[in-house]
Structure 1
Amino acid sequence: MTASDETKTPGRKLLFAILIGLGLAIPLFMVWALVYDRQSQSEQAQSSITEGWGGPQAMSGPVLVIPYRQTTTETSTASGTAITRTQEVIRELTLEPEAVELATDIKPQLRRRSIYEAVIYDATANGSARFAFPTDLARYGVDPAKLDLTRAELRFGLSDPRGLGANPTVSIDGRPLKLQPGGGSGAGKGFFAFVDAGALAAKSAIVKFDYGFRGNARLSLAPHAGDTHWTVKSSWPSPSFGGSFIPGGRTIGDKGFAAEYRIGNLALGRSLVSTADKGQSNITESASANTPERIDSGEGKGSEIASIGLIQPVDLYSRVDRATKYGFLFIGFTFLALLMFDIIGGVKVSGVEYLLMGAAIVLFFVLLLAFAEVLGFTFAYILASAAIAGLNTAYSAAVLGSWKRGTMIGGLLIGLYAMLYILLGLEAFSLLIGSVLLFFALAAVMYATRRIDWSRSNGEAAV
């Protein structure tokens, strides 16, 4: 032991270990950046896998759109003279059905490319809708005599029409309709049919529909009816219910899930009748590629949705990211154990040895990420923790001059890895459990060092 080592106080040694630990924050932050980069690559790979199949789908409709003429008057002033112009414009009356019965069956599958995978699905939507002609059109500023019932359009919305199946069928009062692509004169997304709504003034009409479509990751419904009854079933065991409405009843098991929604127009906060300028009464315009929370309605206002996501049960990138945030805890406890052997046990530990053992701890998170992408999180965690615990055990045994001391370091790391795995699985109580464990660890360190004179040098006698 050199003279400079003998004059180092325990306090200086503690400060030296802290500085090395702070230096290891740089590679630890680099690991966080690596996790983010790999997650971004995974999302890009998933987009590539699902390209051409169909995006997260959002359904809406059916609604009945009837064009009508309306006389408008405009008054303007030119050279001090008031000029009144009267013109006739074409507007659209949108009728939502009184009731919709909709059943959807989602058949999911996993598509893989290299180490990445994405959830895609085939789905079928079939049901019926009942339309009734309003008797109080005057309240909406519509003259029934100016309705062009022969040019009505029955519109269905689908956010990504690329996924639409080949043979959708729609009928009204038993008469099959010829379907057209797009959103009709509203230029939205989906499909529509020209309808002669002349008979609707005398009695209600029943529309039946059956169509299939493809999508990925998420399915949403924008309800447009006085009473929407939507039942969904799928073999996917891990659904995520979101949007503005959640199912009133649901069952989830290993063989899949079933959900039932009941949504009324009072909850939606809108009337079954609306008017808009021609070309603005779209029931769908766009849906977000990730979280389609809203779909544009007839008057340009947001329409509430019910959404079901087919999530992966384990998001390995979020778990690795959370694990990496505990990196300082591992470095701190390992350095503290080495410091105790140095101060109390009298075994000299150099800065290089602190640095190498800290680097091994940082490497654990890189190994965890690399193995998890190939083997899954649990097996990767076991393999990475065993490798690093074994490496640091053997190295510390050589540094501390005793396999007993090295085994104590290894046991500490194994305990920390086991605690971290438990914390990662207990999201709701991870902060509580972690705080309590840190309290007891700090109490143990304070008890073990209660008689140390942090200002004395190694050459001085302990008090």
Structure 2
Amino acid sequence: MPLPRPASGERSPGYRFGLAVLLGLLLAIPLFAVYLLVYDRQSQSETARGSIVEGWGQPQQFAGPFLVIPFSQMVETEVQENGRTVKRAQSQDRALFVAPDQVRFETRLDPELRRRSIYQAVVYSAAMRASGSFRLPDLAASNIDPASLRMGEAEIRFGISSAKGLGGSRPQVRVGGRAIPLIPGSGLRSTDGSGFSGRLGAMPPGGPIAFDIAFTMRGHDSITLLPSAQDTRWQVASSWPHPSFVGGFLPVARHVDAHGFSAGWRIGNLALNRPVVSIDEQAGDTADRVTVALIDPVNLYSEVNRAVKYGFMFIGFTFLTLLMFDVIAGVPVSGVAYLLVGSGLILFFVLLLAFAEILGFTPAYVIASAAIVGLLACYSAAVLGSWRRAGAVAGLLAGLYAVLYVLLGLEAYSLLNGSLLLFAALAAVMYFTRGVDWGRIGGRADTIEA
């Protein structure tokens, strides 16, 4: 028995499939616009964070201390006189840099969340204590005449990358049990000359030269040590529960829990591959830095950005569901309906970003997904002519949003789980459309009765 003639204007399943694909590709334009919106809001957030921490102190980096002893050294140079090369001995001022024989740093980081409007930044006050000792080197091994040393001009130098962070602090430096006055802006080359120094005056007679340094400095996000001593030890403690330990050396011991963290390092100069004594300051290797960062475990812009990348999956699955109702169940779905549904799916990411900046990511995700599921369920009931069919669309969307939330939390396995989900979806589409004649007007090769 021949199939009934299709109504005027009816299109083949292949045409409707192509229309859904084309409309899905067109929705890539507003989806990309949402991606740019996330990037723009993130840039505004970084600018706002910069204004919050301005005047407080930069991410701090400290180096030293060094015992610096100036001396004079005769250097033979060649000069031209009357067309002849003549060698002359000239006196040059040099400096002997002596790193500590051993030094112990104790740091207490007191973090604080500072807010401005909807933005926030992590700042800290670091109570620093450095104690140790210097030992005068064997000058003969360095080919230095002991008589050329100007011991009365010897000084101790300590480098801090952002001297502004010393605001409100009066560093105390004691050498050999004697407090010494400090000179600002005379730090180390490794900290761009920022820091402080103090003239020792009379050197303690013989033996190790003990020192003790105490001060408080302010900064934000991270604090970094440039080790240089023969034996460097650093103990850090803080109430911040989300630290990140990076750099050339990891802590030999650490403890992290919900109440904060503590960590300790021990680094020898053999591991640094640099001498304890040098003529003039030697640039430290940046690979030897030890950094403690106070991180925010949930970067909402990063999470929203990752969610936007799954936008095509939402559009594809929802359009396939509508297409199945159109092709298999015989419920016509217009191109305008596809566009409106796709617009609602893209609006989810805008709502997610807007609410996340105020409420946080998880509450924003629940609110935005519930709003879009409810909106599209009501619209689908009108388009598909049945609340039962609309319930299928709502159930699909709720499942997709639940799966996406899980994928966002499983960074290491998100690709595996996402690919398995796509495989299952493709298998389901193949199964339900296995009897569809995509080129035949009317939808199926057999008579549709249901």
Question: For the superposition of Structure 1 and Structure 2, which TM-score range results when normalised by the shorter chain?
Answer: over 0.9
Instruction: Find out whether 1:193 has 2:198 as its counterpart.
Output: yes
- Two-structure CA RMSD over aligned residues (Å): 1.8
Q: TM-score, normalised by structure 1?
A: 0.91
Percentage identity across paired residues of the two chains: 53
SS at the partner of 1:225? coil
- The code of the aligned residue for 1:275 comes to I
Instruction: Find out whether 1:269 has 2:273 as its counterpart.
Output: yes
Contact 1:230 1:262 in 2 (8 A): yes
SS at the partner of 2:140? helix
Q: Per-residue deviation at 1:3?
A: 5.1
- The code of the aligned residue for 1:456 comes to R
Deviations 1:101-120 (A, max 9, x none): 11100111111100001111
Instruction: Find out whether 1:322 has 2:306 as its counterpart.
Output: yes
Q: Determine which of 20, 27, 37 is the counterpart of 1:17.
A: 20
Q: Per-residue deviation at 1:78?
A: 5.9
- The code of the aligned residue for 1:16 comes to L
- Aligned partners of 1:40 and 1:367: how far apart in 2? 19
- Aligned partners of 1:185 and 1:260: how far apart in 2? 25
Which residue in 2 is equivalent to 1:241?
245
- The code of the aligned residue for 2:110 comes to K
- Aligned partners of 2:193 and 2:202: how far apart in 1? 21
SS at the partner of 1:63? strand
Q: Determine which of 37, 50, 63 is the counterpart of 2:66.
A: 63
- Aligned partners of 1:412 and 1:324: how far apart in 2? 18
Q: 1:303 to 1:461 in 2, by over 3 A?
A: closer
- Aligned partners of 1:205 and 1:118: how far apart in 2? 41
- Aligned partners of 1:40 and 1:2: how far apart in 2? 55
- The code of the aligned residue for 2:198 comes to A
- Aligned partners of 1:163 and 1:189: how far apart in 2? 11
Q: Determine which of 376, 401, 421 is the counterpart of 2:360.
A: 376
Moved more, 234-243 or 165-174: 165-174
- The code of the aligned residue for 1:10 comes to P
Say how many residue pairs are matched.
440
Q: 1:212 to 1:29 in 2, by over 3 A?
A: same
Q: 1:142 to 1:3 in 2, by over 3 A?
A: farther
- The code of the aligned residue for 1:154 comes to I
- Aligned partners of 1:127 and 1:154: how far apart in 2? 13
SS at the partner of 1:413? helix
- The code of the aligned residue for 1:211 comes to F
Instruction: Find out whether 1:28 has 2:31 as its counterpart.
Output: yes
Q: 1:322 to 1:4 in 2, by over 3 A?
A: farther
- Aligned partners of 2:188 and 2:304: how far apart in 1? 50
- The code of the aligned residue for 2:174 comes to S
1:78-89 matches, cutoff 5 A: 80-89=83-92
Deviations 1:233-283 (A, max 9, x none): 00001111112111111111111100111111111110101112xxxx3xx
Instruction: Find out whether 1:90 has 2:74 as its counterpart.
Output: no
Which residue in 2 is equivalent to 1:217?
221
SS at the partner of 2:237? strand
Q: 1:364 to 1:185 in 2, by over 3 A?
A: closer
1:140-219 matches, cutoff 5 A: 140-164=142-166, 165-183=168-186, 188-196=193-201, 198-199=203-204, 202-219=206-223
- The code of the aligned residue for 2:56 comes to W
1:48-447 matches, cutoff 5 A: 48-77=51-80, 80-135=83-138, 137-164=139-166, 165-183=168-186, 188-196=193-201, 198-199=203-204, 202-276=206-280, 281=281, 298-299=282-283, 302=286, 304-447=288-431
Deviations 1:286-315 (A, max 9, x none): xxxxxxxxxxxx347546211011111211
Q: Per-residue deviation at 1:398?
A: 0.5
Q: Per-residue deviation at 1:459?
A: 7.2
Contact 2:125 2:218 in 1 (8 A): yes
Contact 2:327 2:443 in 1 (8 A): no
- Aligned partners of 1:450 and 1:161: how far apart in 2? 72
Q: 1:54 to 1:185 in 2, by over 3 A?
A: closer
Contact 2:242 2:295 in 1 (8 A): yes
SS at the partner of 2:9? helix
Q: Per-residue deviation at 1:84?
A: 2.3
Which segments of 5 or more consecutive residues in structure 2 lack a partner in the other structure? none
Q: Per-residue deviation at 1:5?
A: 3.4
Contact 1:55 1:216 in 2 (8 A): yes
Q: Per-residue deviation at 1:148?
A: 1.1
Moved more, 58-67 or 177-186: 177-186
SS at the partner of 2:383? helix
Which residue in 2 is equivalent to 1:38?
41
SS at the partner of 2:376? helix
Contact 2:436 2:443 in 1 (8 A): no
Q: Per-residue deviation at 1:166?
A: 2.4
